[in-house]
Amino acid sequence: MKTNIKIEAINIKKVFNRTTVFSNISFILEEGSALAIAGKNGSGKSTLAKIIAGVLTPNAGEFIFSINDKEIALVNRFKYLGFVSPYLQLYEEFTALENIQIYSGVRKLNFNNKNLSSLFTKVGLFDRKGDPVRTYSSGMKQRLKYAFALLHQPPLLILDEPRSNLDSDGISIVYDIVKEQKQKGSVIIATNDKEDLQYCDSIIDLNVKVNNSNK
Ligand SMILES: Nc1ncnc2c1ncn2[C@@H]1O[C@H](COP(=O)(O)OP(=O)(O)OP(=O)(O)O)[C@@H](O)[C@H]1O
Ligand SMILES: [Mg+2]
């Protein structure tokens, strides 16, 4: 089901400790497309991804997140997005299934068990879903993050370093997820990897933005 998502960023600026990470970031992301955030280490990819997710607030600029032409308030944004990132913490002592139950309980997310089973199958963890996360390899933890992100079938999927710790099978699963997500909504990928860019329709290069803002 299409959700008619539209994201518009107008002159976004982020400052940490008086240092401007980026400024004048503007883009429009429409339904059915993927946007890449590229740039070297420290250029602000994760920072921008967090601003889009509503985890961080920008110092200047405007950000409009709308579904079917209705603007979504910042506090509700999490309901409409899934976020895969290196800084998502999992409870090591709980099983993958328990982690998902805790997370969806806290966030009051709706999902059905059939969808959950198919997600575990999709990410190749069906047989390991009852094992504590501390027994997972790093690639298995990364795969689990995709199950988390897709659980509530969000219209926006934000991937920060999407291929972290993944083997070639894991990377093809990610690309399948990206292609499927573009049928249902939109994708934002923060990456340093050129191959990831092939799946994106437009690119924000933060290196260029940093250079421009220093002029
Ligand atoms: N919480 C914070 N407090 C202060 N500075 C921060 C904070 N988070 C990030 N920064 C700074 O903001 C800049 C951008 O960091 P960010 O993590 O967004 O970069 P990145 O492009 O994602 O890098 P990488 O490719 O290494 O993941 C860096 O200079 C970083 O030190
Ligand atoms: Mg980063």
pTM above 0.75, yes or no: yes
Q: Domain 5-214 falls in which CATH fold?
A: Rossmann fold (3.40.50)
Q: Is the CB of 38 under 6 A from ligand 1?
A: no
- Divide the 215 residues of the chain into consecutive groups of 10 and give the mean pLDDT of each group: 87 97 97 97 97 96 95 94 94 95 81 87 97 98 96 95 97 97 97 94 85 42
Q: Whose CA is nearest to atom 6 of ligand 1?
A: 16
How far does residue 83's CA lie from ligand 1's centre (Å)? 17
Ligand 1 lined by 86 (C-beta under 6 Å): no
Other Cβ atoms less than 10 A from the Cβ of 201: the count is 14
What is the rounded distance in angstroms from the CA atom of residue 116 to the CA atom of residue 125? 11
- What is the spatial distance between Cα 94 and Cα 98, in angstroms, rounded to a whole number? 6
Nearest residue (by CA) to ligand 1, atom 18, is 44
Domain regions of the chain by residue span: 5-214
